[in-house]
Structure 1
Amino acid sequence: MGETLLRKWLLADFGLDVVELTPVAYGADVAAQVWRAVTATNSYAVKWSGAGTNTGHQVAAFLADSGLPGVPELIRTSEGGLWSVHAKKRLTVTPWIDGTRAAETGLTDEQWSEYGVLLRRVHDAEPPPRLRDALPKHSHIDARTPALVDEVRRRLEAPDGDVAEELAAVWKQYDGIISDLLTNRPPAPTGARVVCHGDPHIGNVLVDKHLHLIDWDDVIHAPREQDLMFMLGGMGDVGPTTTAQQEAFLTGYGPHTLNQETVHYYRHVRAYEDVINWSHQALTGPDEPYALQVTKGILTTGLAALAVQ
């Protein structure tokens, strides 16, 4: 999308007269584009995305408006909305956080404890019934992943290029794990549900003087284990990497008896989503070699290895 058009949208929709726009590399979400937008007085994070659901932004706005520290506020449109829509994608604006991505710098044990406190506050939040009832009960990524399975398998039957050939070898090597992910999902949990971020690894955490949990596209109404499983191993550098870090997070989070069957379910779901979606990206782009390495990591030491135990 052209910079001139984006400036026009920001002025018309949000009343922001932007003097500088800078594209920002943004994680693994190929459905999103992010910019830093600077006006004469402030800086903003601008996201144009077709991912997730509208409900995530409503939850983020509810949490921020409730004063929950660590959840960035959403800048309202000129008409009071939380987003505008262009080309069937949502345009959202939040204040720019001049910090670093936690996945790049890591967190200290003290910060891991702070993050436990933050995620507990999210889970303990009580949105109004209308918003709570509108929350998705299942992952939108999980719902669209089966359509990719046949395409990935078809492409791997006649791999085109070095990355595809290596991915085909990886799929053959880990055929047992992949078959388990595709055909052997555990029973869905039936426990009490809370507001879950859905993707709370520290690639979605920004650090300045405090921690900020961003990217609320994947919000889901689910047992706490949906989010907590990210802190229990298999996430590489975007989760705790030492026992001390994990204990610091859980201490900050506070009392909760983990349901291991529920952890297993959400670990299995996420591993399935990740293996298929990263494999698809390795075949179709962007960043095919990187996507291949991520896929290999998930299968060797990541969530998939844990999910089928």
Structure 2
Amino acid sequence: MGETLMRKWLLADFGLDVVELTAVHHGADVAAQVWKASTATNTYAVKWSGAGTKTGHQVAAYLADCGIAGVPEMVRTIEGGLWSVHAKKRLTVTPWIDGQRAAETGLTDEQWSEYGVLLRRVHDAEPPMRLRDALPRHSHIDARMSALAEEVRAGLKTPEGADLAAVWEQYEDVIADLFGNRPEKPTGPRVVCHGDPHLGNVLVGDGLRLIDWDDVIYAPREQDLMFMLGGMGEFGPVTENQRNAFLDGYGAHAIDEDAVRYYRHVRAYEDVVGWSHQALEGPENAFALGVLKGVLSEGLAALATPN
């Protein structure tokens, strides 16, 4: 997307007269473009994406309006909306947050407790019935994995897929379990879940900010807590003290281990298929293959499948 067109959209849709526009590259979402946009008086984060659902923006706006400081507010369009649409993708704007990804900086034990408090406030939120009823009950990513998996299987048979095929052969038993032995779906009480609250989606600056609400879902809270209970490497708590600090901040909750097992299995399946597809199609094929090896050897897939 060219800068001139993006500037035009931001002025027409949000009334932002942008004087400087810089592309920002973060995350595994190849369907999104993120920009840092500066006007004469303020700086904003701009995202143009076809990923996720519009409900995520509605939830983020509701939580921010409720005063949850760790959820960035949404900048409204001139007409009062939360986004505009161009080429079937949503354009959203939030204030720019000076800080670094927690996956790069790590969190102190005190910050882990702070993050536990933040995620508990998200889970304890009670959105209006209309918004609650609009929330997805099933992961939109998981819903498209079957078709993507077929593309990967076909790619394994091509010369370009030789390196990936070798990894799949090495971890054949783990992958077979992920594809064929999904645990029973939990039926416990549902809450508003971020859906992807690993440290790559946490900014550390003046406090903590939980960003990228594309995967919001109405599910048992273990959907989110799973990320704090092992298998995420540097994207989650690494030590027992860090995990305990998070849980202390989060507060009393009897963790449903069966639900954790289910959501860990689902995410591991998504990661194996998604990173395998990127290893075949790009971008950054070699990086994707390395991530896949980690997921299978010591990450979520290793934890999600029996030894």
- Verify same fold: TM over 0.5: yes
Match of 1:92 in 2: 92
Shift of 1:72: 0.2
Q: After the TM superposition, which segments of 4 or more aligned residues of structure 1 sit over 3 Å from their partners?
A: none
Stretches of structure 2 lacking an aligned partner (at least 5 in a row): none
State the match for 1:242 in structure 2: 239
> Tell me, what secondary structure is at the counterpart of 2:34?
strand
255, 258, 264: which is aligned to 1:258?
255
Q: Aligned partners of 1:165, 1:294: CA distance in 2, in Å?
A: 17
Q: Is the 8 A contact 1:26 1:33 kept in 2?
A: no
Once the two structures are superposed, residues 208-256 of structure 1 have per-residue CA deviations (whole angstroms, 9 ceiling, x without a partner) of 1200000000000000000000000000110011111000000000000
Kept in 2: contact 1:44–1:94 (CA 8 A): yes
Aligned residue number for residue 61 of structure 1: 61
Residue identity over aligned pairs, in percent, reads: 75
> Counterpart of 1:97 in structure 2: which amino acid?
I
Cα distance in 1 between the residues matched to 2:133 and 2:55:
10
The answer for the alignment partner of 2:228 in structure 1 is: 231
1:62 counterpart letter in structure 2:
Y
Aligned to 2:280: 283
Residue 118 of structure 1: how far off its partner (Å): 0.2
Give SS of 1:157's match.
coil
Q: Does 1:180 align with 2:162?
A: no
Q: Letter of the aligned partner of 1:22 in structure 2?
A: T
Q: Deviations over 1:275-298 (max 9, x none)?
A: 001000000000101100110000
CA distance in 1, matches of 2:148, 2:176: 15
Matching of residues 1-309 of structure 1 within 5 Å: 1-160=1-160, 164-309=161-306
SS of 1:71's partner is coil
Please give the alpha-carbon distance, in whole angstroms, between the structure 1 residues aligned to 2:155 and 2:22. 36
Amino acid at match of 1:230: F
SS of alignment partner, residue 81 of structure 2: coil
| Superposition RMSD in Å | 0.6
Figure out how many residues of one structure are paired with residues of the other and give that number.
Answer: 306
Distance 1:277 1:211 in 2: 28
1:210 alignment partner AA:
G
Structure 2 Cα separation of the partners of residues 141 and 113 of structure 1: 29
**TM-score, length-normalised on structure 1?**
0.98
**Unaligned runs of at least 5 residues, structure 1:** none
1:150, distance to aligned residue in structure 2 (A)? 1.2
CA distance in 1, matches of 2:52, 2:17: 28
Which string of whole-angstrom CA distances, capped at 9 and with x for unpartnered residues, describes residues 180-224 of structure 1? Answer: 111111111100000000000010000112000000000000000
Are 1:159 and 1:168, in contact at CA under 8 Å, matched by a contact in 2? no
